[in-house]
Amino acid sequence: MILACAPVLAHAQAGPQPTGTWLTPSGDSQIRISRCGAAYCGTVAKVLAGETKDVHNPDAALRGRSLVGVALTRDMHPAGEGWEGSLYNFRDGRTYSGKLAMKGPNVLELSGCVLGGLICKKQMWTRVD
Protein backbone atom coordinates (compact mmCIF):
# COMPACT_ATOMS: atom_id res chain seq x y z
CA MET A 1 0.00 0.00 0.00
CA ILE A 2 1.32 3.44 -0.89
CA LEU A 3 0.63 6.11 1.70
CA ALA A 4 0.44 9.60 0.30
CA CYS A 5 1.30 11.93 3.13
CA ALA A 6 4.09 14.49 3.32
CA PRO A 7 6.06 13.03 6.28
CA VAL A 8 6.28 9.63 4.61
CA LEU A 9 7.35 11.11 1.27
CA ALA A 10 9.99 13.26 2.91
CA HIS A 11 11.36 10.28 4.87
CA ALA A 12 11.58 8.06 1.79
CA GLN A 13 13.43 10.79 -0.10
CA ALA A 14 15.99 11.46 2.68
CA GLY A 15 19.42 9.85 2.57
CA PRO A 16 20.95 7.77 -0.22
CA GLN A 17 18.95 7.45 -3.42
CA PRO A 18 18.72 4.34 -5.59
CA THR A 19 19.92 6.02 -8.80
CA GLY A 20 22.92 4.34 -10.36
CA THR A 21 24.00 0.95 -11.65
CA TRP A 22 23.63 -2.10 -9.43
CA LEU A 23 25.07 -5.61 -9.55
CA THR A 24 22.65 -8.44 -8.76
CA PRO A 25 23.70 -10.93 -6.02
CA SER A 26 24.38 -13.69 -8.53
CA GLY A 27 26.68 -11.33 -10.46
CA ASP A 28 24.94 -12.17 -13.73
CA SER A 29 23.51 -8.75 -14.54
CA GLN A 30 23.73 -5.03 -13.88
CA ILE A 31 20.59 -2.94 -13.43
CA ARG A 32 20.47 0.83 -14.01
CA ILE A 33 18.00 2.74 -11.85
CA SER A 34 17.07 6.29 -12.80
CA ARG A 35 14.32 8.83 -12.25
CA CYS A 36 11.27 8.49 -14.47
CA GLY A 37 9.05 11.41 -13.61
CA ALA A 38 8.30 11.40 -9.89
CA ALA A 39 9.24 7.74 -9.58
CA TYR A 40 12.24 5.44 -10.16
CA CYS A 41 12.57 2.89 -12.94
CA GLY A 42 15.20 0.23 -13.48
CA THR A 43 16.36 -1.41 -16.69
CA VAL A 44 18.86 -4.13 -17.49
CA ALA A 45 22.12 -2.36 -18.35
CA LYS A 46 24.31 -5.46 -18.92
CA VAL A 47 23.94 -9.21 -18.92
CA LEU A 48 27.21 -10.66 -17.62
CA ALA A 49 26.28 -14.36 -17.64
CA GLY A 50 23.40 -16.61 -18.56
CA GLU A 51 20.51 -16.09 -20.95
CA THR A 52 20.63 -12.81 -22.89
CA LYS A 53 17.10 -12.94 -24.34
CA ASP A 54 13.76 -12.43 -22.56
CA VAL A 55 12.85 -16.11 -23.11
CA HIS A 56 10.42 -16.36 -20.16
CA ASN A 57 8.31 -13.34 -21.12
CA PRO A 58 4.59 -14.25 -21.01
CA ASP A 59 4.18 -12.45 -24.37
CA ALA A 60 5.61 -14.88 -26.95
CA ALA A 61 6.31 -11.98 -29.32
CA LEU A 62 8.82 -10.52 -26.80
CA ARG A 63 10.78 -13.70 -26.06
CA GLY A 64 13.42 -12.98 -28.71
CA ARG A 65 14.23 -9.47 -27.51
CA SER A 66 17.51 -8.68 -25.79
CA LEU A 67 17.35 -8.34 -22.01
CA VAL A 68 19.45 -5.18 -22.21
CA GLY A 69 16.99 -2.30 -21.96
CA VAL A 70 14.15 -4.39 -20.49
CA ALA A 71 12.37 -2.61 -17.63
CA LEU A 72 12.67 -4.49 -14.33
CA THR A 73 11.33 -1.93 -11.88
CA ARG A 74 8.48 0.34 -12.80
CA ASP A 75 6.81 3.25 -11.15
CA MET A 76 8.69 2.94 -7.83
CA HIS A 77 7.09 5.66 -5.70
CA PRO A 78 8.11 6.72 -2.18
CA ALA A 79 6.57 4.57 0.54
CA GLY A 80 7.69 4.19 4.13
CA GLU A 81 11.48 4.04 4.24
CA GLY A 82 11.89 3.25 0.55
CA TRP A 83 9.92 2.89 -2.66
CA GLU A 84 7.13 0.59 -3.87
CA GLY A 85 6.06 -0.39 -7.36
CA SER A 86 6.22 -3.39 -9.68
CA LEU A 87 9.12 -5.70 -10.49
CA TYR A 88 9.56 -7.83 -13.59
CA ASN A 89 11.66 -10.97 -13.02
CA PHE A 90 13.11 -11.98 -16.39
CA ARG A 91 14.23 -15.30 -14.87
CA ASP A 92 10.61 -16.49 -14.56
CA GLY A 93 8.69 -13.97 -16.70
CA ARG A 94 6.48 -12.83 -13.82
CA THR A 95 5.71 -9.38 -12.48
CA TYR A 96 5.56 -8.90 -8.71
CA SER A 97 4.71 -6.13 -6.31
CA GLY A 98 8.03 -4.89 -5.02
CA LYS A 99 9.99 -2.60 -2.81
CA LEU A 100 13.35 -0.90 -2.89
CA ALA A 101 15.13 0.23 0.26
CA MET A 102 18.60 1.69 0.67
CA LYS A 103 20.60 -0.23 3.29
CA GLY A 104 23.62 2.04 3.01
CA PRO A 105 25.10 4.25 0.29
CA ASN A 106 26.13 1.22 -1.79
CA VAL A 107 23.59 -1.46 -0.85
CA LEU A 108 20.05 -1.66 -2.21
CA GLU A 109 17.54 -4.17 -0.85
CA LEU A 110 15.04 -5.37 -3.42
CA SER A 111 12.02 -7.41 -2.38
CA GLY A 112 9.38 -8.99 -4.59
CA CYS A 113 6.10 -10.21 -3.14
CA VAL A 114 3.03 -12.25 -4.05
CA LEU A 115 -0.34 -12.73 -2.33
CA GLY A 116 -0.57 -9.11 -1.24
CA GLY A 117 2.84 -9.17 0.44
CA LEU A 118 2.30 -12.45 2.28
CA ILE A 119 5.26 -14.17 0.63
CA CYS A 120 8.33 -12.10 -0.24
CA LYS A 121 11.90 -12.75 -1.36
CA LYS A 122 14.71 -10.26 -0.84
CA GLN A 123 18.00 -9.59 -2.59
CA MET A 124 20.82 -7.22 -1.77
CA TRP A 125 22.26 -5.40 -4.79
CA THR A 126 25.63 -3.62 -4.65
CA ARG A 127 26.39 -0.35 -6.36
CA VAL A 128 28.63 -0.48 -9.44
CA ASP A 129 28.73 3.31 -9.97
**Cα 88 from chain centre:** 8
- Domain ranges within the chain, ordered by starting residue: 20-127
pTM over 0.85: no
For the domain spanning 20-127, the CATH number is 2.40.128.520
Residues of the chain falling short of pLDDT 70: 1-14, 116-117
User: What are 75-104's pLDDT values in tens digits?
Assistant: 899 998 899 999 998 989 999 889 999 999
Classified as helix, coil or strand, 115 is helix
CA distance 22 to 32: 6
Closest to 73 (Cα-Cα) out of 120, 36, 116, 119? 36
- Which backbone phi and psi does 36 adopt, to 5 degrees? -135, 90
Q: Which amino acid, one-letter code, is at 89?
A: N
pLDDT of residue 100: 92
